[in-house]
Amino acid sequence: MAEVGGEERAGASSATVFISYASQDKGAAGAVVGALEGAGLKCWIAPRDVVPGALYADEIIRAIDEATVLVLVLSQHAVTSAHVGKEIERASSKRRRIIAVRTDSAALPRAFEYFLSESQWIDVGAGGIESAAAKLAEAVHRYLAPGSATEPAAAPAAHTLHYLAATRRWRRMVIGSAAVVAMALAYLIIDKFWLAKHVRAEQPTSAATPTATISDKSIAVLPFADMSEKHDQEYFGDGMAEQILDVLAKLPGLTVIGRTSSFQFKGKNEDLRTIGTKLNAAYVLEGSVRNSGDQVRITAQLIDTRTGAHKWSETYDRPIGDVLKLQDAIAATVVRELQLTVASDEPSSQGTVKNAEAYELYLRGRHAWDRIDREGFDDAVTLFQHALERDPTFADAAAELAHTYIDQVLVGSLAPVAGFAQARRAATKALKLSPDNVAAHVYMAWIHFMHDWDWAGAERELRLAATLAPGNARVLSSEARLSAALGRLDDAIRQNKSALERDPLNADLLQDQSGIQDLRGYSREAEAAMRRALDIRPTYAYGHYNMGFIFLKRGDRAGALREMQQETIDDGKQHGLALVYYALGRKAAADALLATLEKEQADGNALEVAQVYAFRSQKDEAMHWLERAYAQKDPWLFQIKGDWLMSGLKTDPRFKAFLRKMNLPE
């Protein structure tokens, strides 16, 4: 082992755990080492009284690469330490497990938030560092145990926001992209309260988890590791992987696993054969990037997940302006290695980067967007705008600008009318520059059915997108949302299941699956899909609300109450309990929560209040708040036709007239 700040007692190659700490936290690091060694674990810890870049860095890199777990002693000192920052970036790039022992309440910089977003956290509480270190030893042993599936504990509140569960059930969830920004990362939502009759049952496995046989023509593209000298090019590695995924996703003969599922393995030390099994992918493409000035070095390798054998590997050194050609070259090699037949000679993206600075701004914009919060969206808008200033012909930047404007509406940063107007201008520009831009067609479809209530226009755009990218998970999921909103439930379930085959670990798609099954009246299947989503992402925002709603529709009020009380998002808990308390006859409590909702949601979420009133059979009040939502151009009204909470209004002439205003059949 090693003593803190000094003599090595075991070589790095024999270590199981690497300890990262700031020099001021030497005592805490010593307690951590003592607990881990006492539990029979091998540790490696480096001296801290050196400057970054000294010769000992080679040994640190070797130690991190060969360790299984990085334990971070996290404090105010650590977040400002150049040593610690480099070490956690290295561990993340090598997919090492990171477990943090948090010794104080220091605010994390954004870079740390990103790398630690999937970490397990152990807080030093009243028991002190020794108690926390003992818990740490148990956590490391659980992770190292054969067959362990230990999930990370919830991170601090700063990173508990989950992308598609930013608000409630299948409403008010941020829409994203996963083949151009991430082309399968973000999906539209299914109606939160769809009306469906309980009829025959299906097998839960068919609703919750796809069981497709692994196709020999299937591939997952993992994030490319950042190997640059300063370890500040992660955005470039992610962007490289995403755009190769985008190119491959356009090939009809190849099943490409969605970005959301593939990127779940970022920063994790999973065996590639295990990854292939979990993703239903016969091959994995992984690599690394090193960007220096106007030159880029990219290494890529194709691995058969069934045997672990390397099928192909190559290293490229090119000017930054050739990066898109390089992506195309890698994609073309994959096509040849998998013996695919394509319509054209080679798959291609957009050719060459016309302005290297614009391309870098674009990639940084996508990276900012990936933070999935208001500040991230604000930064992304600015970066995409700057990219377009440098290169006014950059269609992808215009498309992602449209995407981010929509997201800003959904999180409340922009009013619907102004936000969708800006999104429309950006999407129109993208399509004028590149009529075959898949993302721009999908974003225009979202504008049509979320803001214009132009169902035919939305369907036309999605049909074009499907033609351009057949089998793309994000396009399929968008088609499913539109089908469900229009009541075409058989189409919706088929489309969403196809999307899940291509993105099997996407908790958001499973939530969508739950919503569709709920609409169809298959309560058990809806529950199974939602439980699977929670298995994948235990801290899924609004996950317990969704489960509680299923129980409420089923008539299981006790189960509904139990789930709503477990919901961690205040807005979801308030809305859910307002419904459950009323169903339980606890009128005073229900009235109090409804009053709170009226006060807090009047200006931006009147639909939510209308739903509660409709559930309580107070039709006049429900219609008043529904008309208010219409005046606000609430983007989630497109789901109103199947809203289960509105069941009591279905025969009301005013509600029928309301549907006609939205161009929906009664």
Task: Look at residue 106 and tell me if it is in a domain.
Answer: yes
Cβ contact 52:82 at 8 Å: yes
Which domain does 78 fall in, by range? Answer: 12-159
**∠ Cα 599 605 606 (to 5°):** 75
The verdict on 229 and 143 lying in the same domain is no
Q: 100 and 18, same structural domain?
A: yes
29 and 152 co-located in one domain: yes
CATH number at residue 287: 3.40.50.10070
| pLDDT attached to residue 5 | 39
Q: Which of 275, 366, 286, 357 is nearest to 323 (CA)?
A: 357
Asked if residue 233 and residue 310 are part of one domain, the reply reads yes
Chosen domain end from 159, 175, 200: 159
DSSP β-ladder status, 255-256 and 218-221: parallel
Looking at the domain assignment, is residue 554 inside a domain?
no
| Confidence (pLDDT) at 526 | 93
Domain end point (choices 329, 357, 385): 357
Q: How far apart, in whole angstroms, are the C-alpha atoms of residue 73 and residue 22?
A: 8
Tokens standing for residue 21:
């700490």
Q: Based on the fold, state whether residues 138 and 244 are members of the same structural domain.
A: no
Task: Return the DSSP state at 14.
Answer: G
347/247 same-domain check: yes
CATH of the domain at 113: 3.40.50.10140
The answer to whether residue 305 is domain-embedded is yes
Please tell me whether residues 150 and 225 are part of one structural domain.
no
107 and 241 together in one domain: no
Domain assignment of residue 369, yes or no: no
Helix, strand, or coil here: 385? helix
The confidence score (pLDDT) of residue 32 equals 85
CA separation for the pair 496, 507 (Å, rounded)? 12
Q: Provide the CB-side half-sphere exposure for 626 (13 A, CA).
A: 28
State phi, psi for 76 to the nearest 5 degrees: -60, -35
Residue 300's region, left for phi above 0, alpha for psi from -120 to 50, else beta, is: beta
Give, rounded to a whole angstrom, the gap between the first and last alpha carbons of the chain.
72
Residue 56 lies in a domain: yes
Can you tell me the distance from the alpha carbon of 204 to that of 522, in angstroms, rounded to the nearest whole number? 9
Strand order in the sheet with 17-20: 43-45, 17-20, 69-74, 97-102, 120-123
Q: Are residues 232 and 334 in the same domain?
A: yes
- Tallying the residues shown for the chain, one arrives at 666
The answer to whether residue 631 sits within a structural domain is: no
For residue 258, how far is the Cα from the chain centroid? 11
Residues in Cβ contact with 646 at an 8 Å cutoff, skipping those fewer than 6 apart: 193, 195, 610, 611, 614, 622, 640, 655
Q: Is residue 519 part of a domain?
A: no
Which pTM was predicted?
Answer: 0.63
Return the pLDDT at 83: 80
Q: Report CA Rg, the chain.
A: 25
Q: Which two tokens stand for residue 292?
A: 């220096």
What is the pLDDT at residue 351? 46
| SS3 state of residue 310 | strand
In a domain, 569, yes or no: no
Separation between Cα atoms, residue 125 and residue 131, nearest integer Å = 8
Instruction: Please tell me the predicted confidence (pLDDT) of residue 48.
Output: 64
Q: Compute mean pLDDT per 10 residues along the chain, 666 residues long, and list them.
A: 38 70 85 82 73 60 85 87 82 80 74 62 70 80 58 31 33 34 32 29 37 76 82 81 81 82 79 86 88 81 88 84 77 80 52 74 89 89 95 94 95 92 97 94 96 97 93 90 93 94 88 92 93 87 90 94 90 92 96 94 89 96 96 93 91 95 87
CB of 457 closer than 8 Å to CB of 481: no
- Residue 86: the pLDDT is 82
Same domain, 125 and 235: no
Q: 235-275: per-residue pLDDT in tens?
A: 888 888 887 887 887 777 788 888 788 888 877 777 888 88
Question: In the prediction, which pLDDT does 183 show?
Answer: 32
Crossing angle of the two packed helices 473-485 and 438-447, in degrees rounded to 10 = 20
Residues 6+ apart with CB under 8 A from 229: 290, 292
What is the pLDDT, as a whole number, of residue 150? 38
The tokens for 192 are 């939160």
When divided into structural domains, the chain yields a total of 2
Same domain, 238 and 121: no
Enter the DSSP assignment of 653. Answer: H
What is the DSSP track for 117-184?
TT-EEEE--TTHHHHHHHHHHHHHHHHHSTT--PPPPPPPGGG---GGGSSBTTBSPPP--BTTTTBS
Asked which of 159, 185, 203 is the last residue of a domain, the reply is 159
